[in-house]
Chain A
Amino acid sequence: MIEIHKKLDLENNGSAERWEQQIRKGALEMAALAALWSGELYGLEIIRRFENSSQLSLAEGTIYPILSRLKNEGLLESKWVEAEAGHPRKYYRLTDAGRARLQQMTQTWTEFSRELGTLIKPVIAAQKDEVTK
């Protein structure tokens, strides 16, 4: 019986992890666009920005295919710039379509968070109660 419970716990943890990964991956496109809102950046700078200003830890290889896809969709444009460091860097910047898409995403995200926040309010309250006990 205990083994069955342990197995169920492991399965639950596994599906919770998968869910969290999906959420992070889904949000990554928006995060990449948002990182470029203020100006152009190259790949490593975008990764550092994620690390410094958000909880978005990720396999670094994940970001480059996303940047490539966003560029193919016409949301980003890129150019190679010679750098003092010795290696030319590929800088990305938002196109007008990219800015429009990011604004749409932001609106959707805000709306979605607000609706979900209302739904999970009782869960948060219960968790607070448990902590205070």
Chain B
Amino acid sequence: MNLQHQQELEIDNYLRRLRECLPQMSVADREEIVREISVHIRESAQETNSSLDEILARLGSAEDLASEYGQDALIRHASHSFSPVLILRATVELAKRGIEGLALFLSALLGYTLGGGLVLTAILKPIFPRQTGLWIGPGVFDFGLHEPPPVYPAHEVLGWRYIPIALSFGWLFLWVTTLGVRWFLRRSRSRGSIFARNRAHISANAGTLA
């Protein structure tokens, strides 16, 4: 079956949308995907009596197809990235898949909020010196930016030392969160499907049966 000019335009349009919607990945990876889908469409048209519309409908929309590729690419990319935004986006994706992913997302959110918050308050200390610090008192342990600041008997204990300490702990939280989440992301990729998750359990069972 020779594809008509109109059909070629329709295929090109589908592939263009696919290319545009494919997420962050190398040009080579993106072009390989487009090439494979292009071959699929053309071979399906040759092999079957289906119309081009039917073939494209069976393939799904270009946007949906790109999204399927995108979810995996996002997690793969994030597992080697230091960008908190990218890492958080990947954890959001995992959170949609189950309780373990949700726990990872919440941990990442907590780690980045705490780390980022500490760094931010260290920066704000010179601007709001009285309102920023660490307050300790009977039943009081409070840090960060407070307006108004906690009152006596709680008192601020760090003074200007708050800046290096908050910066150090802030960076530490950001660093540990990033490394920890990256480790989990790599682990989730290497474990693959739900079946592999029960590997230890099954091996144990097999051992018992044997």
Contacts and interface: CB of A to CB of B under 8 A. Distances in A.
A74 B34 CA distance: 21
B194 interface: yes
B68 interface: yes
A64 B36 contact: yes
A32 to B, nearest CB: 10
Contacts of B43: 44, 85, 87, 89
A87 B37 contact: no
B88 to A, nearest CB: 21
Given A44-B40, A87-B43, A90-B39, A65 B193 contact: no
Which bucket holds chain A's interface residue count? 20 to 34
Nearest to A75: B192
Given A68-B33, A89-B39, A90-B39, A73 B205 contact: no
B206 interface: yes
A107 interface: yes
Specify the main secondary structure of chain B where it touches its partner: helix
Interface of A: 26, 29-30, 43-44, 59-62, 64-65, 68-70, 72-73, 75, 85, 87-90, 101, 104-105, 107-109, 111
The majority secondary structure among interface residues of chain A is: helix
Contacts of A104: 195-196, 199, 202
A60 B205 contact: no
Contact of B68 (A43, A44, A62, A108): A62
B46 interface: yes
A62 B60 contact: yes
